[in-house]
Amino acid sequence: MVIKLYFCVKYTAMDSTANADQFYTNLKEKLQSSDEWPNAYLYKFIFKTEDSRLGAIKSIFDALKPEYRVTESGKGTYTSVSITLIMESPDAVIEKYKEVGAKVEGVISL
């Protein structure tokens, strides 16, 4: 089973630690109440098309052997990547979101 929870966050828009902390606290509560862990989880990231961003995102997840689905917008301006994999816990899910936010600039997470 894949858990499909969609949260839209533009990491660069999180201008205060308090806002980011509150967001992750709420996300953790929703994930804990949604299912048992470990479980499949679907990440989706959107960014302006640049090869380095896709590679940077993949490097964060590759060790976990995920399934990737990459789609470019009609004009090729934006790229979305959907990543499906088994995550051990809500904390593990959140850590990956934080890692992407810290290492890859200009990413929107859905």
Summarize pLDDT for 66-103 with one digit per residue, the tens: 999 999 999 999 999 999 999 999 999 999 999 999 99
| Number of domains, the chain | 1
- CB neighbours of residue 110 within 10 Å: 14
Q: Are 7 and 110 in contact (CB under 8 A)?
A: yes
Could you give the angle at which helices 17-34 and 90-103 cross, rounded to 10 degrees? Answer: 150
- Rounded to whole angstroms, the Cα distance separating 88 from 37 reads 6
Which ranges constitute the DSSP H helices of 1-110?
17-34, 51-61, 90-103
CA Rg value for the chain: 14
Token pair 């949260």 in the structure block, residue = 7
pTM: 0.80
Residue 43, Ramachandran bin (φ over 0: left; ψ between -120 and 50: alpha; else beta): beta
pLDDT digits 0-9 by tens, 37-77 = 999 999 999 999 977 899 999 999 999 999 999 999 999 99
Domain CATH number, residue 97: 3.30.70.260
> What is the domain range of residue 20?
2-109
